[in-house]
Amino acid sequence: MRSTPTATTAGVRCRGVLAALPLVVAAALLTVAVRPVLGGGANWNDAQIKWMAYADGVAAAKKSGRPICLVFYTTWCPHCTNYSKVFSDPAVVKKAESFVMIRVDKDQNKELSKEFKPDGEYIPRTYFLSPDGKLDASLTAGREQYKYFYDEQNPADILAGMDRALKQFGK
């Protein structure tokens, strides 16, 4: 014989679910509130800068003769989130037209990241490559440590790097 819940047992179950509801709501709100702080809310200005995957970008650079600006980042890095904002600066957007712009998620491309680490695999890091895809290790951000870490809040830093790269590659 099957027992049917009584009003009392059904009420206890209902109160148990209702008691847990604030915890579920709090966890959901915390997840949403923390995401931008951890870097998930990065905006790399995809609307104005034509970011490409690595292989496609190298092929496009060889075909066009434009040098490459290669950025390694992760979705969870707060410095990457800050750095992404410099690519919305109008002067950076304009200068980016002279480059093939490649953005690579280090976590999703571990082997490629290992190929580009003259001074480590920190993030974000930005390299300038010749139109044939060769890294020019001399084109740095001018730091003694973390040589390829450009100022994450000042567009003038990456603009100066872009200018040096264009001069180096004769563009």
pLDDT at 124 over 80: yes
Q: Is the domain of 139 the same as that of 106?
A: yes
Question: Which residue in the block uniquely carries the two structure tokens 């790269």?
Answer: 165
Which residue from 58, 84, 57, 65 is spatially nearest to 73, judged by alpha carbons?
84
Per the structure, the complete domain to which residue 21 belongs is given by 1-38
46 in any annotated domain: no
45 in any annotated domain: no
Q: Sorting pLDDT into bands at 50, 70 and 90, what band is 109?
A: very high
19-51 pLDDT per residue, tens: 554 544 444 444 434 333 333 558 999 999 999
Contact 41, 81 (CB under 8 A): yes
Check the CA dihedral 42-61-125-90 and report its sign.
negative
Q: Is the domain of 24 the same as that of 80?
A: no
112 in any annotated domain: yes
Give the contacts of 146 (CB within 8 A, at least 6 positions apart): 119, 120, 122, 125
Residues in a beta bridge with 102: 52, 70
88 in any annotated domain: yes
Q: Is the domain of 30 the same as that of 60?
A: no
Strand order in the sheet with 100-105: 51-52, 100-105, 68-73, 125-129
- Work out the mean pLDDT of the chain and round it to a whole number: 85
16 in any annotated domain: yes
133-169 pLDDT per residue, tens: 999 999 999 999 999 999 999 999 999 999 999 999 9
Q: Could you give the number of structural domains in the chain?
A: 2
79-97 pLDDT per residue, tens: 999 999 999 999 999 999 9
Q: Is the domain of 16 the same as that of 55?
A: no
Q: How far apart are CA 164 and CA 142, in angstroms?
A: 11
- pLDDT value of residue 43: 93
Q: How far apart are CA 71 and CA 149, in angstroms?
A: 10
79 in any annotated domain: yes
Q: Is the domain of 33 the same as that of 56?
A: no
Q: Is the domain of 66 the same as that of 145?
A: yes
44 in any annotated domain: no
Q: Radius of gyration of the chain from Cα atoms? A: 24
Which residue from 88, 81, 18 is spatially nearest to 48, judged by alpha carbons?
88
pLDDT at 120 over 60: yes
Residues in a beta bridge with 51: 101
Contact 98, 130 (CB under 8 A): no
pLDDT at 107 over 70: yes
Q: Is the domain of 123 the same as that of 159?
A: yes
71-82 pLDDT per residue, tens: 999 999 999 999
Q: How far apart are CA 147 and CA 99, in angstroms?
A: 20
Q: Is the domain of 60 the same as that of 118?
A: yes
Q: Is the domain of 60 the same as that of 33?
A: no
Q: Is the domain of 33 the same as that of 65?
A: no
104 in any annotated domain: yes
Predicted TM-score (pTM) of the model is 0.76
Q: Is the domain of 13 the same as that of 76?
A: no
**What is the CATH classification number for the domain harbouring 153?**
3.40.30.10
Q: Is the domain of 22 the same as that of 106?
A: no
Contact 80, 151 (CB under 8 A): no
